[in-house]
Copies of this chain bind each other. A is one copy, B any other.
Amino acid sequence: MQTLSVDLGDRSYPIYIGEGLLNQPELLLNHIQGRQVLVVSNETVAPIYLATIRQALSGLHYSEVILPDGEQHKTLDVLSAIYDKLLEDKHNRTTTLVALGGGVVGDMTGYAAASYQRGVNFIQIPTTLLSQVDSSVGGKTGVNHPLGKNMIGAFHQPQCVIADTHTLTTLPQRELSAGIAEVIKYGLICDADFYAWLEQHVEELLACDQTALAEAIYRSCDNKAKVVASDEREAGIRAILNLGHTFGHAIETAQGYGNWLHGEAVAAGMQLAAQLSEKMQWISADDVDSVRHLLLRAKLPVTPPAMTCDQFLSLMAVDKKVLDGRLRLVLLKKMGEAIITSDIAEQDVRDTLTDAGVSA
């Protein structure tokens, strides 16, 4: 087991990474401060892993909520089911919420914990690669609104994160690939060595090699933790974590949540960002080809779905990364170094989109 500490002053917490951690109940129990606990999972993950967690928590005042699976259920209405259960079972401010599942479960449980009685503790047990490398680090929690993703939420840090690589053996290949998209992102934005490592090991990740997965998760979380520690409330540099996300959010919104996986939309978005970065003459055509090749090896999409330029631009404009009407984009200054810019001409964005097959 590797342990990574996310350094945020009095809200610091450890991330435990390794194979078989769900079978070490003390990892979980050491971070539960009161006698009450509510586990939130979903109907896909619960049948596989919930019994183990329930057993680990058998000595406590225990409740559980099973949510429907999928991004389309990341809503205020579904969130209410968590509040209802907490109140029906008389959970008080000393309770701990445990998220057992992917990013949707983690984001919703974290937001329920942030807002229940104005804030209670929570623990993340992410069971997808995407949530292990992304949504369990950084304290972002929330739900979607019909008019935009993650529009309602809070920053709320967990007590700990338990990333058991063994849970990835039951993950569908498509979701594993979606997670690798975010892993590749860390290489692109801030760690050229890691990007080179990924070019060597991407097939091992796809094959669920436990050692390679643990290494990829550790290095992704380490990179993310460094960025987050320097900018907890996302005032500036943290925005580099959104490489590919502004394009990606437009794709997800246009296609309806859940049709494209988040990581798939980010992959196509990163490819667009790379192409726009080339247009700015920051990276080379060879670099763009390298990104495309690595994404394709990871079995990820590299072209956007059937949409128009106007649709893209309109949906990008409601993304949170827009400041006072100016489109702010994360691009690549070079391989392994992201840049945040508001100086891209709309025509260059349009040209990049049409070059990628989007209708004008």
Contact = CB atoms under 8 A, between A and B. Distances in A.
Contacts of A1: none
A59 to B, nearest CB: 14
Contacts of A114: 154
A65 to B, nearest CB: 15
B140 A94 contact: no
A148 B87 CA distance: 8
B94 A118 contact: no
B87 A154 contact: no
A92 B39 CA distance: 33
Nearest to A147: B87
Interface string A50-63: 00000000000000
Contacts of A80: 76
Contact of A83 (B92, B151, B155, B234): B151
Interface string A130-161: 00000000001010010110111111000000
Contacts of A320: 92-93, 117
A152 B119 contact: no
A35 B326 CA distance: 13
A318 interface: yes
Contacts of A148: 87
Most buried by B among A92, A147, A322: A92
Interface of A: 34-36, 76, 80, 83-84, 87-88, 90, 92-94, 114-119, 140, 142, 145, 147-148, 150-155, 233-234, 317-318, 320, 322-325
